[in-house]
Amino acid sequence: MKNYDTLLTDLAPSKFERKGVIWTGFLLLVVIIGAIAYIEELIEGQITTNMRDYALWGIYISNFVFFVATSFVGSATVAILRLTKNTWRTPIVRIAEIICVASIIMAGITIMLDMGRPDRLLNLFIHGRMQSPITWDVIIIPTFMVASILLLFFPLIPDFAILKNHFKDKKPTWSKWYGILSLNWTGSKKQIKIQQKSIKLIALLILPLGLILQTIDAWLFSTTYRVGWDSTDMGPYFISGALVAGLGALIVVVFVVRKVYKLENYITDFHFDKLGKFLALACLLYLYFNINEYLIPAYTPPKAEEIHLKMLFTGAYSILFWIVLIVGLIIPIIVMLFKKGRKPKAMFYLGLVVVLGSWWKRFLIVTPTLLHPFLPIQGVPESWHHYFPSLGEWLVTFGTLAMALLIITLLIRFLPIIPIQRTADEQEELEQNKNTKS
């Protein structure tokens, strides 16, 4: 058993080393460049983007869908693993909650970046029609944001109290802040009861909320009568895709955190093996829905659908389409079927590939469809029939991605990445069980 002091030494937030500072500075720089590009867009209007009458949703919406998908990791790991009583989740659960919070915050911001007139955002609430899936989206995103912050915060309360005492002499300012956040936690029976009850409730709540969020996101597309979107399959297709994106991101962050903070004793090969199996299952599910999404329409395609599928299978987007499907989905499944493929380093690369594949997959869902409306738009320049993001769009998008990573980095910097109290309790329980047996 590790004693409490060792746990605190290992898991209490500690100062960034040089690499950490450089990384944070780099992210900050990308965010600032993105913000400048966005200010220019705000002043000049969306003419600075390459979005036109055809591609009226561009990279921003792809990016938004990616963030929404990634935020599903909170529901997946906390709720699903908790409800299925998978105790191995303990060291990774907080990282999942942090990714969830960062992703949903950035999803909310990204959708505002896509608005031509963000100053009219309030109108979505004032004049929103319940018939519109956009209104549902406007309601569910802040709801999920609040729920995911609560999901992160409740289990942190005892840890804040521990950190308050831990930093009392070393860093009094930190201690003061942790004290405020610990909400006068003394570990009394009443407090534990309320906290446990709340965690149980939020864990139960976050699953349907996550499913609703992903489904609404899918319905934004499927309720729009467009080739490639007009599908009843979209809800589960998006949920399984979100599971893939979220788990991929989780694996990547877990690997980096484990390496940087030297947490090999807490996050072991066993955890990567489990995560690998979980990701393989998610990828298989997603592959199944992909087959449904593309094979069935390809079997009996109406004319418009045929043009769209041809564009994906053999046309302008075919290289990207097959790379995303084969490299981003099929190869990871095959590799993860083998035990060696579920080792930490392999999992890191697979996670990275899966995340990149997930991001481009959203681009493939949004853009090719928009370029083929049922009624072609008359009298527009030829260039409007194609879409590739402008430099400004790329900078803004990289800015949002960097912002998400910055939120994750800062939360990792100031929060205990592995629950201290829970790990201590589990180790104590393990020790007691050993003693009882002997």
Partner 1 sequence: MRNNYIIRHFFLVVLSVFLCTSSFAQKAKKDKVRLKANYVKIMNNEIYFDIQASAKVDRKNVPVSKVELVIFNVLGDEQLELGKITTNMDGEARFTLKNLNSIKPDSTNTYNIEISFDGNESFKRASKSLSFKNANIDAKLVTIDSINYVTATLVNKFTDSIIAGQSLKVVVQRLFKPLVIKEFNETDEDGTILVPIPEGIPGVNGNLTIEVVLNDSDEFGTVKALVNAPVGTHIVDESTFDQRTMWSPRNRTPLFLLIFPNILIFGIWGLIIYLIANLFKITKS
Is the Cβ of residue 43 or residue 126 nearer to partner 1 in the bound state?
126
Query: For partner 1, how many residues bind (rule: CB under 8 A)?
Result: 29
344-370 and 59-70 helices cross at what angle (nearest 10)? Answer: 140
Taking CB under 8 A as the criterion, which residues in 13-72 touch partner 1? Answer: none
Q: Quick one: tokens of 321?
A: 């389409």
- Comparison of 129 and 437: residue with beta carbon closer to partner 1: 129
> Of 200 and 386, which has the nearer Cβ to partner 1?
200
From 36, 80, 150, 304, residue interacting with partner 1 (rule: CB under 8 A): 150
> Residue 157 CB, nearest distance to partner 1 (Å)?
7
By beta-carbon proximity to partner 1, the closer residue of 139 and 356 is 139
Q: What residue type is 192 in one-letter code?
A: I
**Residue 414: CB minimum distance to partner 1, A:** 19
Contact window for partner 1 (CB under 8 A) among 77-85, 199-207, 364-372, 397-405: 199-207
Instruction: Please name the residue that has the structure tokens 């998610």.
Output: 282
Q: Are 294 and 309 in contact (CB under 8 A)?
A: yes
Q: Which part of the chain contacts partner 1 (CB under 8 A), choosing from 31-39, 69-77, 152-160, 286-294? A: 152-160
Which residue type does 152 have?
Answer: L
Of 202, 353, 366, 395, the one binding partner 1 (CB under 8 A) is 202
CB nearer to partner 1: give 198 or 292.
198
Q: Does 231 bind partner 1 (CB under 8 A)?
A: no
Q: Is 190 in the site for partner 1 (CB under 8 A)?
A: yes
Residue 381 has a CB neighbour count (10 Å cut-off) of 8
202 vs 86: CA distance, rounded Å: 17
Told to check if 185 binds partner 1 by CB under 8 A, we report yes
CA separation for the pair 337, 421 (Å, rounded): 34
Each residue 109-148 as x (binds partner 1 by CB under 8 A) or -, in order, gives ------------------xxxxx----x--x---x--xx-
177 scored as a contact of partner 1 (CB under 8 A): no
CA distance readout (Å), 429 to 54, 263, 434: 61, 21, 9
Q: Which is nearer to partner 1, 194 or 380 (CB)?
A: 194
| Ramachandran region, residue 216 (left: φ > 0; alpha: ψ -120 to 50; beta: rest) | alpha
Q: Which is nearer to partner 1, 140 or 350 (CB)?
A: 140
Q: For residue 148, which of 102, 216, 191 has the smallest C-alpha distance? A: 102
Q: Are 285 and 357 in contact (CB under 8 A)?
A: no
Among residues 188 and 314, whose Cβ is nearest to partner 1? 188
Measured distance between the N- and C-terminal CA atoms of the chain, rounded to whole angstroms: 16
Judged by CB under 8 A, does residue 319 bind partner 1? no
CA–CA dist 47, 38 (Å, integer): 12
Helix axes 133-166, 172-181, angle to 10 degrees: 130
| In contact, 419 and 154? CB cutoff 8 Å | no
Q: Which two tokens stand for residue 84?
A: 């299925």
Residue 183 interacts with partner 1 (CB under 8 A): yes or no: yes
- SS3 string of 201-218? HHHHHHHHHHHHHHHHHH
- Give the residue, chosen from 6, 165, 184, 383, that forms a contact with partner 1 under the rule CB under 8 A: 184
- 209, 252, 354, 396: which one contacts partner 1 (CB under 8 A)? 209
**What b/e string do you get for 33-51 counting C-beta neighbours within 10 Å, with b at 16 or more?**
ebeebbeebeeeebebbbb
Is residue 83 involved in binding partner 1 (CB under 8 A)?
A: no
Measured between alpha carbons, how far is 66 from 238 in angstroms, rounded to an integer? Answer: 10
- Does 198 participate in binding partner 1 (rule CB under 8 A)? yes
188 is a contact residue toward partner 1 (CB under 8 A)? yes
Smallest separation, CB 131 to partner 1 (Å): 5
225 binds partner 1 (CB under 8 A): no
Question: Which is nearest to 252 in space by CA: 360, 327, 358, 366?
Answer: 358
Choose between 107 and 202: whose C-beta lies nearer to partner 1. 202
Q: Which of 7, 69, 92, 157 binds partner 1 (CB under 8 A)?
A: 157
| Site residues, partner 1 (CB under 8 A) | 127-131, 136, 139, 143, 146-147, 150, 153-154, 157, 183-185, 188, 190-191, 194-195, 197-198, 201-202, 205, 209, 212
